[in-house]
Structure 1
Amino acid sequence: YDYVERDAKEVAVKDLKDGRWFYVPTTGAAPRFALNQFPFLQGSPRYVELCFTKEGLEVRSYDKNYPDAHLSKDANNYCGEEKFVADDDGVNFAQVLTIPGDFAAYRCQEDAHGDCTNKEETNEDASLNYKKKTHFTPRPEDLEIAEFNMEDLYGITEGIDEIGAPRLISWDFDPKNGLLNFELERTFRIDLDNISDYINFATKASLDEALVDGAFKSRFYYSLVHESEVATEGYQPILYPVGDENDIGFFTTSTKKLNPVTNKYDRDVVYLNRFNPDQGSIKYYLSDNFFEEKNKLFLDATLQSIEKMNQALNVFGADAGKPEIEIVNKTKAAGIHPGDLRYNVINLIDEPLANGLLGYGPSVSNPMTGEIIKGHVNQYAGVARTGVPFYWDNLARFYNRNQLDLDGLDPLPTS
């Protein structure tokens, strides 16, 4: 049988895994000189449902006020259509984004007698309803983002204009197994009216050198992973009263529960955010650049720090529900992107950044339970290196003035 040549990104619409997904956008690599760019900044996580429309694959946020409600769609994962004015439940699922693409259906090419010729062809019948099309080829470079997210709040795209079309850097589309990941590279030019806000002229030798930094490329990673791939089935959430939160200070997740008296979702429930305590270990991956020779200092320090943390956790005993932190790739790079929802990552950013970031550690939790499904730590080693001389000089100045207080510690031996 002779098949039509297909695009490598093409998927069968029926293969889209049913249920809810987690979605997180993350900024990727960014130039060190761009003051308004924050590399590997995690966006706001979303708990979403997916379905196909004429335009492509739509991603909609779940209905927070009625968390047990689900987006209507047919057996082939096409979004349901409202049949009358009052049927408006679908609009309660907030629009997050659309991945545009092309739909297609295939059939056997027939001869003049209507017999199959063992050769496939694309069904170009204009009367074919789009919901009868069986395959979808995404165009992620045409991504349409509807929601507000961290890149908007942090001003990453404020005061700059995008030039040209985004370029698809990488992609991994496996909807049958609950995975839709891709990375885009976008080109920006600073608005002339805002140029002094985005270029540090004090660090430039000349106006010409400063203007060179007026255009740049940045990368953005988008991860969609089905909940069955990352959330623990049967996870037991921990209720976390506000009083406890004020005293202890763990991060929390709020959700709505059905009130048996009013039959409405008007009960606010707060859960403590934590990793599943019943897992053998909490697995983290190190970013690839940890294994460059110039970064050996940070690799060794990170591994030693994790070991110290595990020693502290072991004090509570093996049955205390505090699994150890396991570094999966202690000796070599694993090629894991920090934005991939499937993995916890310690990410080393070894270039000094003009924005001065030093450390950052967000997480993603299940909004229905509080279970942490992904941890992400950024180490800004380049910024740390540039700051060391300043802090060392301060310490030396305090020492020479006898202004350092041991605060109850024994002094170090002098010989």
Structure 2
Amino acid sequence: MKKYLLFLFFIFCVHCLLAQMPSISEVTKDFKKYEGFFSFYFDEKTGAVYLEIDKFDTEFLYVNSLTAGLGSNDIGLDRNQLGDERIVYFNRVASKVLLFQPNQKYRAITSDKAEQRAVRESFAQSVLYGFDVEAVENNKVLVDMTEFLLRDAHGIADRIKNMRQGAYHLDISRSAIYLPRTKNFPQNTEFEATLTFTGAEAGNYLRSVVPSEEAFSLRLHHSFIQLPDNEYVPREYDPRSGFINISYYDYSTPVSEPLEKKFAIRHRLKKKNPSAKVSEAVKPIVYYLDNGTPEPIRTALLEGASWWNQAFEAAGYKDAFQVKLLPEDADPMDIRYNVINWVHRSTRGWSYGSSVTDPRTGEIIKGHVTLGSLRVRQDYLIATGLLAPFENGEKLDEKNDPMLKMALHRLKQLSAHEVGHTIGLVHNYAASMNNRASVMDYPHPTVSLDKNGNIDLSNAYTSEIGEWDKVSITWGYQDFPKGTDEKKALNEVLDKAIAKGLLFISDVDARATGGAHPKAHLWDNGDNAVKEFSNVLKVRQKALDNFSVKNIRNGVPYAVLEEVLVPIYNYHRYQLEAVAKLIGGMNYSYAIRGDKQVVTEIVPKEVQQQALDAMLQAISPEILTLPENIIKLIPPRPQGYSPHRELFSKRTGLTFDPMSAAEAAASFPMSFLFHHERAARLVEFKARNNSLGLEEVINTIIEKTWKSPRLSGLQRSVQMQTEQIMLTHLLALSINENASMLVKSIANQAVKNLKTWIEAKKAESKETDYLAHLDYALDRMKTPERAKVESEKPLPPGAPIGMCSLEE
């Protein structure tokens, strides 16, 4: 009885407290009102924002984003970068309002309220913020939003700390609401704030982009978005489709069925006439290009993004995908606009294709592309290195500039690629093996030698959507007539693609270091990795043969030739990765029971041997050693031209270092050949079907390095350096904690055998430098734990050549 009386007393006190509160109209009489999805007010005297809440326990979408960024690709806080998206709702408790984020990962898709409650109460929810009620009027309350908006919701300080760029914290005294981008619309309410971070010990990445190390200011955006209606029909995910998926656990699922549910993410798209073979859409998908994009880049991006209409036409739509320039009065953060942003950074870096997605269903609400502006310059640089075009040292006009033509073709593909992510697609890294079947691959320029032996860029990049892309869009967006067995029809779409030989392999399977798939690679070309590697080496050699002062314009310091040389000397690096994956490789697919795809198939021994031979060609002194005429062209950098990471690492101080360039180029393929996962597969596959074994691989490498005939001059120095690099990787593998026992035993035996050979060689050798080389190797074998692969010089940055990574 006492508890009941106390409860009544509490209710009475709350009622009295609320009764004493002023009305919303009283508090806001001098404020500027912004009507919309959630009406809000701005107090010009204090700079405070007050939110009028009239929707309680009603879910909506909350998204934070970074409108004005830092400008550093390495730190990653870019202009118009999307942050987290969450379904939230306001819940009122007396004089307090809580912003709840329900747990979408665990659900009960049932009409049984008790069953829904049981799941809801079994897993934690999150309260993102608590607000004090400032005023009341009818069924509405007023809360002060200022502190909520002036908080580090994007994790900026943590990002700076995690990147070791200093200790910075949010300084509220230097932060304020940014009114020009604080707006209201019928379906979304937008807030923006200028946040200033102060601190010390700024790292190099941060120091290079901020005007003052004492403080830097960014702008953070907050969006409250009305969730879509329930007319959208989710499409059950198929791992063969090429789509991104959402997933959750449905605890109302019968025991005989999978608990985890997966659905493809897609825009809402319906035909006006689903029965027609070709029909207009009820509402087309429209993307808008950042109006701050300059020409001729603007035209290239518009054209590339528009390629997707080809895929939608293949799916039976007419003009269902459109690309326009963003109107001057439009806000790119407005949820109504799918946008392609043109973003500037201090260094080249990745581009991104993101989206705002309804976590309940997978419906894409807003496509959001971020394209880095410096990457087109890297493509121009590669073309310059290949062509040595400045015969007279003069700048070429745009109409007759083959480097610009190639770079713009690349931008078209990049635009299509990133938009592809925002319409639901993942990467397809097997497309380059399939005659460029998808723009969702990472394309290296396809370059060849013409009949006169000159470098030909005419086929560098594709100019249209791929066949696989049409399949994916048809699977994801086809609107079937009533009565169609949709699951069967969708399966037929993929079965037909498989019958045509179209391949789909995505991200994790394409990575090279320990990767096994022989057909899915980043930045490769051709349907035969080894054959294309041979072509790439010929192109590389031709470019090096032609390398001269013609690779720079008049008035440019000779030292800048090193920047042009880097991507040419390392031109073969990506095709080399594709070759590496054949060794210890296994072909497989995302097969499901009933389709006719390869499940697993070890790469034939002869193919692996061809790949090994190609890899060893890449570490030959002939390939690694730069010619004297190029070395003599590159002096130390002059005043005003500081060294940077796009150059070769050096061990010679200021002077150009061809030995370190060769060191990095030799260590790179060794990292694949001696990777512990590849080594384990070599041991396993040898035991299973007498495939190429680890012992054979190591012995072959030793034969082609340590036991090869001695050379002279700079090639001799490179040869001995490469042998020491090989020993580093072998010693590291012999004690690698992640390697299997059998791998370590084989590597350890190889070290002992090599030691015996070196000791015998030492007894018969007379050359002082060679004896020193042999002695040093023997000393290193005594302490294998000191063999640090990471101490070797790395290659200069390569990727992105002009492509993206889905965050991924």
TM over 0.5: yes
Kindly indicate whether residue 244 of structure 2 is the aligned counterpart of residue 233 of structure 1: no
Report deviation, 1:347: 1.4
Q: 2:100 touches 2:125 (CA, 8 Å); kept in 1?
A: no
Q: 1:167 aligns with which of 158, 176, 182?
A: 176
Q: 1:17 touches 1:226 (CA, 8 Å); kept in 2?
A: no
Report deviation, 1:94: 1.4
Structure 2 residue aligned with 1:347 = 341
Counterpart mapping for 1:8-27 below 5 A: 8=33, 9-10=40-41, 15-16=54-55, 19-27=58-66
From the superposition, tell whether residues 102 and 302 of structure 1 become closer, same or farther in structure 2 (CA, over 3 Å). same
From the superposition, tell whether residues 277 and 34 of structure 1 become closer, same or farther in structure 2 (CA, over 3 Å). closer
Structure-1 separation of matches of 2:205 and 2:460: 46
Question: In terms of mean alpha carbon deviation, does 359-368 or 155-164 score higher?
Answer: 155-164
Structure 1 residue aligned with 2:82 = 42
Structure-1 separation of matches of 2:368 and 2:56: 26
Structure 1 residue aligned with 2:135 = 104
Q: 2:106 touches 2:251 (CA, 8 Å); kept in 1?
A: no
Structure 2 residue aligned with 1:199 = 207
User: How much identity, in percent, do the aligned residues show?
Assistant: 19
Structure 1 residue aligned with 2:300 = 301
SS at match of 1:378: strand
Report deviation, 1:282: 0.6
Q: 1:257 aligns with which of 222, 245, 250?
A: 250
Kindly indicate whether residue 105 of structure 2 is the aligned counterpart of residue 64 of structure 1: yes
Q: 1:370 aligns with which of 356, 359, 362?
A: 362
TM-score, normalization by structure 2: 0.36
SS at match of 2:259: strand
Q: 1:102 touches 1:136 (CA, 8 Å); kept in 2?
A: yes
Measured on the aligned residues, the alpha-carbon RMSD in Å equals 4.1
Structure-2 separation of matches of 1:344 and 1:270: 25
Structure-2 separation of matches of 1:214 and 1:39: 21
Structure 2 residue aligned with 1:334 = 329
Structure 2 residue aligned with 1:289 = 292
Report deviation, 1:272: 0.9
Structure-1 separation of matches of 2:205 and 2:199: 9
Report deviation, 1:163: 2.3
Counterpart mapping for 1:93-242 below 5 A: 93-98=125-130, 100=131, 103-105=134-136, 134-143=140-149, 151=156, 154-155=159-160, 159=166, 160-165=168-173, 166-170=175-179, 171-172=182-183, 177=186, 179-192=188-201, 194-196=202-204, 198-200=206-208, 212-227=212-227, 231-240=228-237
Report deviation, 1:335: 2.2
Q: Deviations over 1:36-65 (max 9, x none)?
A: 332222112212222245455524234532
Q: Deviations over 1:308-363 (max 9, x none)?
A: 331343233338xxx72223x5374232233x3343111122x3x12533421111
From the superposition, tell whether residues 390 and 254 of structure 1 become closer, same or farther in structure 2 (CA, over 3 Å). same
Q: Deviations over 1:217-252 (max 9, x none)?
A: 10111111121xxx2532111111xxx42x343100
TM-score, normalization by structure 1: 0.66
Kindly indicate whether residue 263 of structure 2 is the aligned counterpart of residue 268 of structure 1: no
Q: 2:71 aligns with which of 26, 29, 32?
A: 32
- Structure 2 unaligned regions, length at least 5: 1-24, 34-39, 42-49, 111-117, 271-281, 389-446, 462-808
Question: In terms of mean alpha carbon deviation, does 368-377 or 12-21 score higher?
Answer: 12-21
Q: 2:67 touches 2:79 (CA, 8 Å); kept in 1?
A: yes
SS at match of 1:50: strand
RCO greater where, 1 or 2, for CA within 8 Å and sep 6 or more? 1
- Structure 1 unaligned regions, length at least 5: 70-85, 107-131, 204-209, 410-415
Q: 1:20 touches 1:48 (CA, 8 Å); kept in 2?
A: yes
Q: Which has the higher strand share?
A: 1
Structure-1 separation of matches of 2:187 and 2:308: 33
Q: 1:13 touches 1:134 (CA, 8 Å); kept in 2?
A: yes
Structure 1 residue aligned with 2:321 = 325
Q: Deviations over 1:75-118 (max 9, x none)?
A: xxxxxxxxxxx9x94983212345x4651146xxxxxxxxxxxx
Structure-1 separation of matches of 2:460 and 2:217: 51
Q: 2:191 touches 2:222 (CA, 8 Å); kept in 1?
A: yes
Structure-2 separation of matches of 1:155 and 1:249: 34
Q: Which has the higher helix share?
A: 2
Q: Deviations over 1:166-195 (max 9, x none)?
A: 311132357xx5533201111123432x43
SS at match of 2:196: strand
Structure-1 separation of matches of 2:161 and 2:320: 36
From the superposition, tell whether residues 233 and 44 of structure 1 become closer, same or farther in structure 2 (CA, over 3 Å). same
From the superposition, tell whether residues 145 and 408 of structure 1 become closer, same or farther in structure 2 (CA, over 3 Å). closer
Structure 2 residue aligned with 1:118 = none
